[in-house]
């Protein structure tokens, strides 16, 4: 019986991978990375965009269903609109009437107000102590931004003719495809009575 379920999961994961997409042009990225000074990082970037980035999750892979945050329940229309946008952009798949993967783990979703509209969040640290984030090595997967002072120091060290460019990539983390082996960790659940 588990073998049949595992086979169905693999078939479904292949189908889900086909639905997703990233706007990153893999061929262009590959050419740009040839000149990148850190070969290991270049390889990880290329393979990540080509096959999906692994979350480096080390916890249990068991089904878990979470209730959504109050903000999602209070703003049902906005929540559904945000989810629809994610599906249309190829960053999420669904909705599904049944779990597409037998070991699907769901995390609560919610909305956070921003200057113009709402930002959809997934609470990957829920439940406390056993959320998805609790099983991801922070040393392997943390993001550290340069401080303003560090940028000023770097530009100053380059001299008066130095140029600097600043970019803000909208939904930067949503550009990163997830490796199919980790799809089961990023589920969401819309309860019929709540949304």
pLDDT tens column, 34-57? 999 999 999 999 999 998 999 999
Q: Is the pLDDT of residue 1 over 60?
A: no
Q: How far apart are CA 74 and CA 39, in angstroms?
A: 48
Q: Is the pLDDT of residue 86 over 70?
A: yes
Within 13 Å and on the Cβ side, how many CA atoms surround 183?
A: 24
Mean pLDDT of the chain: 87
Q: Is the pLDDT of residue 4 over 70?
A: no
Q: Is the pLDDT of residue 194 over 70?
A: no
What is the pLDDT, as a whole number, of residue 3? 53
Report yes or no: 148 and 164 within 8 Å, Cβ to Cβ: no
What is the pLDDT, as a whole number, of residue 128? 95
pLDDT confidence of 8, banded at 50, 70, 90?
A: confident
Exposure b/e, 160-188, CB count within 10 A at least 16 = b? eeeeeeeeeeeeeebeebbebebbbbbbb
What is the pLDDT, as a whole number, of residue 15? 75
pLDDT top residue among 84 and 8: 84
Question: Which tokens in the block code for residue 150?
Answer: 């560090």
- Which is nearest to 109 in space by CA: 98, 97, 94? 94
pLDDT in tens, 93-109: 889 888 999 999 999 99
Q: Is the pLDDT of residue 171 over 80?
A: no
């Amino acid at each position: 019986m588990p073998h049949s379920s595992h086979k169905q999961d693999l078939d479904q994961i292949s189908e889900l991978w086909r639905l997703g997409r990233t706007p990153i042009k893999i061929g262009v990225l590959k050419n740009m990375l040839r000149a990148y000074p850190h070969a290991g990082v270049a390889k990880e970037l290329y393979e990540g965009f080509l096959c999906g980035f692994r979350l480096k999750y080390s916890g249990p892979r068991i089904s878990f269903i979470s209730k959504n945050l109050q903000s999602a329940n209070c703003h049902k229309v906005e929540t559904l609109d945000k989810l629809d946008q994610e599906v249309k952009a190829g960053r999420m798949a669904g909705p599904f009437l049944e779990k597409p993967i037998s070991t699907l783990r769901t995390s609560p979703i919610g909305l956070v107000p921003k200057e113009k509209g709402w930002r959809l969040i997934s609470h990957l640290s829920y439940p406390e102590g056993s959320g998805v984030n609790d099983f991801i090595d922070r040393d392997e997967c943390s993001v550290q931004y340069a401080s303003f002072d560090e940028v000023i120091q770097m530009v100053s060290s380059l001299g008066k003719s130095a140029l600097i460019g600043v970019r803000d990539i909208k939904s930067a983390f949503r550009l990163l495809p997830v490796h199919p082996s980790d799809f089961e960790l990023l589920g969401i659940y819309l309860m019929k009575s709540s949304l």
